[in-house]
Amino acid sequence: MFEGLTGRLGDIFDRLRRRGALSEEDVGAALREVRIALLEADVALPAVKAFVAGVKEKAVGQEVLRGINPGHMVIKIVHDHLVELLGETSEEINLSATPPVPVLMLGLQGSGKTTTSAKIALRLKTREKKKVLLASLDTRRPAAQEQLKVLADQVGVASLPIIPGQTPVQIARRAMETGRLEGFDVVMLDTAGRLAIDDELMAEVVEIRDATKPVESLLVVDAMTGQDAVTVATNFNERVGITGIVMTRIDGDARGGAALSMRYVTGKPIKLLGVGEKVDALESFHPDRIAGRILGMGDVVSLVEKAAETIDREEAEKLARKMEKGGFDLDDMLSHLHQIKRMGGMGGMLGLLPGLGKVKEQIKNANLDETVLKRQEAIILSMTKQERKKPDVLNASRRRRIAQGSGTTVADVNRLIKQYQDMSEMMKKMKKLGRKGLMRQGLS
Ligand code: GDP
């Protein structure tokens, strides 16, 4: 969902990290880039301004205090600010009222309101063991009430019987009455949408609100609509009042800055995310997770930090070029081992890399410490030039000779060759990430 912003910020922090120290000027330059990146990610201008100002204030202040590892510090501050802006905790639906608790569903036509109502009903039923009644107040689209009934049947919750000719407010009152009489915990009221905000719609929704006094008024917005979603949220919040936001089509949104701005301009929490068409495609909103995704940080960031500090740039570039050509041989492995030694062991480095579970496991099992690294170095140095270039030629007799020459055993040699094969495999995987991905992960 946030790939665009992630990539952009990744580039910026990459540039930052290549410098020795981070001056105030650098902070300013980085924040200009952050600002552009956020705007390109469809974050609303007021939110961007507030964000950048907040980060700047903290960054400069902290630099005076500590003045160490500034790149890392800026990332941390940007991350913390994103979390703050997105809302610190994951908030679930508030049901703290005497049942039946009215939950009003709001939003434009096509935003995913009806689907989301069914998704929430299913969630409340399965997770909280609530008895939920679904009611469609959409009297405009002839099939709307039927559509909700079909969905209600699908998720196994009750729906209000359809009585033709009633107004939305009449249906809402009847739903609440049914809820009371039949002992429902929650009554979900799915209002009619429009193609755009209009006064008639707002008046209708306000009337329903006043008749039912909802505990939650959840606005459903389509994340794909970016800035428009923010306008919709502002309008609904000002004219009807909302208690939370559900963003749908997160599965399809490439920019996702709307999440940031929506939270900022309405001050209302994003409570849930719709991540697909199926009735169970609904997720809780975790600000730290989203912020982490935006920055692509977490473990990868620590890895880049570590790698940038220790890896010899030229050697790394050479290795990257080789890997691009697909020609990773034992000489390369040797130079890689030198780098690893400087980085405090392979376990430490690979432990930071995501998506390499199998290799990580093997390395851990191999218990790679300094002595192992030394032994491996000795094994490779006992090979001929040709053997290092073409490890395929390493048959049993050659392996015996190498073991003798390096003062190790054939089993040690076999292990090293196996490890070389695993690494080549890993390099191929890394190659798929592309040159840029590699650089960012500090392995180039
Ligand atoms: P409403 O007019 O606001 O009630 O919208 P609907 O609930 O009828 O949804 C419109 C379309 O969006 C339907 O085809 C849904 O299946 C689809 N939809 C709803 N939520 C999501 C979502 O989170 N992801 C995806 N990919 N599609 C969704």
Q: Are 373 and 336 in contact (CB under 8 A)?
A: no
Atom of ligand 1 nearest to the CA of 252: 26
Atom of ligand 1 nearest to the CA of 250: 23
Q: What are phi and psi of 248, to 5 degrees?
A: -105, 170
Superfamily of domain 299-440: Signal recognition particle, SRP54 subunit, M-domain (1.10.260.30)
Distance 119 CA to ligand 1 centre (A): 11
Instruction: Find, among 237, 223, 250, 291, the residue nearest to 38 by Cα.
Output: 291
Residue ranges in 87-196 assigned as alpha helix (H) = 113-128, 144-155, 168-181
Q: Which CATH class is domain 101-286?
A: alpha beta
Atom of ligand 1 nearest to the CA of 111: 3
181 labelled ligand-binding = no
ipTM attached to this prediction = 0.98
User: What is residue 205's predicted lDDT score, i.e. its pLDDT?
Assistant: 94
Amino acid letter for position 376: Q
251 labelled ligand-binding = yes
222 CB neighbour count, 10 Å cutoff: 23
Label residue 259 left, alpha or beta by phi (over 0 means left) and psi (-120 to 50 means alpha): alpha
360 labelled ligand-binding = no
User: What is residue 227's predicted lDDT score, i.e. its pLDDT?
Assistant: 78
Q: How far apart are CA 404 and CA 423, in angstroms?
A: 25
CA-nearest residue, atom 12 of ligand 1: 112
Would you list the domain boundaries of the chain? 3-86, 101-286, 299-440
CA–centroid distance for 9 within its chain: 14
CA-nearest residue, atom 16 of ligand 1: 277
Q: Are 132 and 179 in contact (CB under 8 A)?
A: no
User: What is residue 308's predicted lDDT score, i.e. its pLDDT?
Assistant: 43
CA-nearest residue, atom 19 of ligand 1: 112
The CATH fold of domain 3-86: Four Helix Bundle (Hemerythrin (Met), subunit A) (1.20.120)
CA-nearest residue, atom 6 of ligand 1: 112
Q: Are 300 and 387 in contact (CB under 8 A)?
A: no
193 labelled ligand-binding = yes
Distance 186 CA to ligand 1 centre (A): 22
Q: How far apart are CA 194 and CA 144, in angstroms?
A: 12
Distance 226 CA to ligand 1 centre (A): 16
Atom of ligand 1 nearest to the CA of 117: 7
Atom of ligand 1 nearest to the CA of 274: 23
- pTM above threshold 0.95: no
114 labelled ligand-binding = yes
210 labelled ligand-binding = no
Q: Percentages helix, strand, coil for the chain, rounded to the nearest 5? A: 60, 10, 30
Distance 249 CA to ligand 1 centre (A): 8
Distance 294 CA to ligand 1 centre (A): 25
User: What is residue 442's predicted lDDT score, i.e. its pLDDT?
Assistant: 41
User: What is residue 84's predicted lDDT score, i.e. its pLDDT?
Assistant: 81
CA-nearest residue, atom 5 of ligand 1: 112
Full pLDDT tens readout for the chain, 444 residues: 444 455 555 566 566 554 544 567 767 767 777 787 777 767 778 888 888 888 887 776 554 333 344 555 666 677 778 888 787 666 789 999 999 999 999 999 999 999 999 999 999 999 999 999 999 999 988 799 999 999 999 999 999 999 999 999 999 999 999 999 999 999 999 999 887 788 988 999 999 999 999 999 999 999 888 778 888 999 999 999 999 999 998 877 545 577 788 888 888 999 998 989 999 999 888 787 667 655 654 433 333 334 444 444 555 566 666 666 667 788 878 877 776 665 544 444 444 443 343 444 444 444 455 677 788 888 998 999 889 988 889 999 999 999 999 999 999 999 999 888 887 777 776 666 554 444 444 443
Question: Could you give the C-alpha distances from 400 to 51, 72, 394, 414, 415, in angstroms and in order?
Answer: 63, 48, 10, 10, 13
Element (H, E) at 187: strand 186-190
299 labelled ligand-binding = no
Ligand 1, residues 119, 275, 277, 284: which to mutate, most atoms within 8 A of Cβ? 277
Record the tokens describing residue 414, joined without a space.
Answer: 């076999």
Distance 172 CA to ligand 1 centre (A): 23
Q: What is the largest CA-CA distance in the chain?
A: 94
Distance 190 CA to ligand 1 centre (A): 13
Q: How far apart are CA 140 and CA 192, in angstroms?
A: 7
249 labelled ligand-binding = yes
Ligand 1, residues 109, 113, 115: which to mutate, most atoms within 8 A of Cβ? 115
Distance 275 CA to ligand 1 centre (A): 10
Q: How far apart are CA 178 and CA 283, in angstroms?
A: 29
Record the tokens describing residue 268, joined without a space.
Answer: 């209302």
Distance 112 CA to ligand 1 centre (A): 4
User: What is residue 259's predicted lDDT score, i.e. its pLDDT?
Assistant: 79
Dihedral sign (CA 379, 382, 383, 388): positive
Question: Which residues' Cβ are closer than 6 Å to ligand 1?
Answer: 107, 109-115, 193, 248-249, 251-252, 274-277, 281
56 labelled ligand-binding = no
Q: Are 336 and 423 in contact (CB under 8 A)?
A: yes
CA-nearest residue, atom 28 of ligand 1: 277
Let me know if the fold of 3-86 is the same as that of 299-440: no
192 labelled ligand-binding = yes
Amino acid letter for position 140: R
Distance 111 CA to ligand 1 centre (A): 6
